[in-house]
């Protein structure tokens, strides 16, 4: 039988079949993924093959195969450890919720998040939330940012989760897909999810999540079916992306507008810093690409501000 993992506790997995039945499953044998030192072989979102086994009067599924992942997100299981924990797999869409204030989302954060989503190969969408609370000046800043990111190719939507404004546009993007919601604490993730699916009743408080983070407990994601043919993956205590290790040389590939220019640089290993005849620097001088994006890129390449600090995303 085939199914998708909806929940995992470390040793037990809840698997849903295409017919809609849920099975408690365990793993048979060892699963070693190529190149991944992971504490958990199977994660939420994984597509697995299992068979029903009976021990005494106990019936449960035994997973013996896992299908290739389209993508997956990881975090280090413990600070500084090389072991990783796979948070979730096969994610179609990640929404980054952004607010101008309460809390302020800096463009450097947005850019690191987007670069990470490119590295993970997950499509990212920007949701500018709380537009009901902005004055004219703030609204024009939102419009400016949305235009900036749309030009690069990212879908941007201004919404008010609280008032339900433009939430139907978010729903439309989610149809038939598995999505995740990320963003700083307080941007309105729980509020939006409650509006999308009132029956989920996610708490708007973050206390339990903070508690979990403080203890460095391994937390597990969970997948939920929504009533309108969409699924969301919730990641308690992480609320975001985790981190992905990037080599200096590849960071530019995760900034689509820089990647596009790269072949026109004189040196094919150009880092777009101080090299001569750099197409990125020329495009900057002509205002063809954004300075704030370039600044974020340079910060990531030069390792300023402790870029890969654990929990950088989703705090
Ligand atoms: N004005 C306004 N406030 C919002 C909006 N969405 C959420 N909030 C408020 O922002 C605070 C944090 O929301 P919450 O959903 O808990 O954020 P989370 O930490 O991302 O889950 C709460 O007080 C919400 O009522 C919105 O669209 N407009
Ligand atoms: Mg929340
Ligand atoms: Zn260059």
For residue range 180-223, list pLDDT tens digits in order. 999 998 999 989 999 999 888 765 444 444 444 444 444 678 99
Q: 270 preceded by cis ω (within 30°)?
A: no
Q: How far is CA 33 from CA 38, 72, 73, 84, in A?
A: 8, 12, 14, 12
Ligand nearest to the CA of 284: 3
* Residue listed under structure tokens 């470390």: 10
Q: Whose CA is nearest to atom 26 of ligand 1?
A: 130
Give CA–CA dist 93/112, Å, rounded.
Answer: 17
CA distance 111 to 274: 21
Distance (Å, rounded) from C-alpha 109 to C-alpha 293? Answer: 10
Can you give the pLDDT of all 315 residues of the chain as single tens digits? 999 999 998 789 999 999 999 999 999 766 655 555 677 789 999 999 999 998 888 889 999 999 999 999 887 666 656 677 888 999 999 999 999 999 999 999 999 999 999 999 999 999 999 999 999 999 999 999 999 999 999 999 999 999 999 999 999 999 999 999 999 989 999 899 999 998 887 654 444 444 444 444 446 789 999 999 999 998 765 555 656 778 999 999 999 999 999 999 999 999 999 999 999 999 999 999 999 999 999 999 998 654 444 344 433
Which residue's CA is the closest to the ligand 1 atom numbered 13? 188
**Per-residue b or e along 297-314, where b marks 16 or more CB atoms closer than 10 Å to that residue's CB:** bebbbeeeeebeebbbbb
Whole-angstrom distance, CA of residue 173 vs CA of residue 195: 15
**Residue 130 alpha carbon to ligand 1 centre in Å:** 7
Distance from Cα 185 to the centre of ligand 1, integer Å: 9
Ligand 1 atom showing the smallest separation from residue 184 Cα: 20
pLDDT at 144: 98
Among the listed residues 176, 276, 290, 193, the one whose alpha carbon sits nearest the alpha carbon of residue 229 = 176
Round to whole Å and give the CA distance between 25 and 61.
4
- CA 35 to each of CA 21, 41, 201, 246: distance values in angstroms, whole numbers, following the listed order: 33, 12, 38, 15
């Amino acid at each position: 039988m085939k199914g998708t993992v909806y929940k995992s506790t470390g040793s037990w997995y809840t698997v849903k079949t295409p017919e809609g039945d849920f099975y408690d499953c365990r793993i048979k044998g060892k699963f070693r993924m190529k190149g991944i030192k992971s504490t958990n072989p199977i994660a939420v979102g994984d597509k697995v093959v299992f068979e029903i086994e009976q021990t005494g009067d106990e019936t449960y599924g035994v997973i013996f195969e896992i299908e290739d992942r389209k993508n997956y997100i990881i975090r280090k299981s413990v600070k500084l450890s090389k072991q990783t924990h796979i948070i979730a797999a096969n994610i179609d869409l990640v929404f980054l919720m952004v607010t101008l204030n309460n809390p302020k989302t800096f463009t450097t954060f947005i850019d690191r998040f987007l670069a990470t989503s490119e590295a993970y190969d997950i499509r990212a969408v920007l949701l500018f939330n709380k537009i009901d609370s902005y004055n004219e000046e703030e609204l024009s800043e939102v419009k400016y940012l949305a235009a900036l990111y749309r030009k690069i190719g990212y879908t941007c939507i201004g919404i008010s989760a609280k008032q339900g404004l433009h939430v139907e546009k978010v729903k439309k993007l989610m149809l038939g897909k598995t999505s995740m919601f990320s963003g700083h604490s307080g941007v309105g993730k729980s509020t939006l999810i409650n509006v999308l699916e009132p029956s989920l009743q996610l708490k708007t408080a973050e206390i339990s999540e903070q508690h979990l983070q403080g203890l460095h407990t391994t937390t597990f994601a969970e997948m939920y079916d929504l009533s309108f043919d969409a699924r969301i993956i919730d990641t308690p205590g992480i609320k975001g992306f985790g981190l992905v290790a990037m080599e200096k040389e590849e960071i530019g590939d995760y900034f689509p507008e820089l990647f596009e220019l790269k072949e026109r640089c004189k040196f094919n290993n150009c880092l777009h810093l101080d090299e001569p005849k750099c197409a990125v620097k020329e495009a900057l001088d002509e205002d063809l690409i954004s300075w704030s994006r370039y600044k974020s890129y340079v910060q990531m390449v030069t390792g300023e501000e402790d870029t890969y600090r654990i929990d950088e995303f989703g705090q």
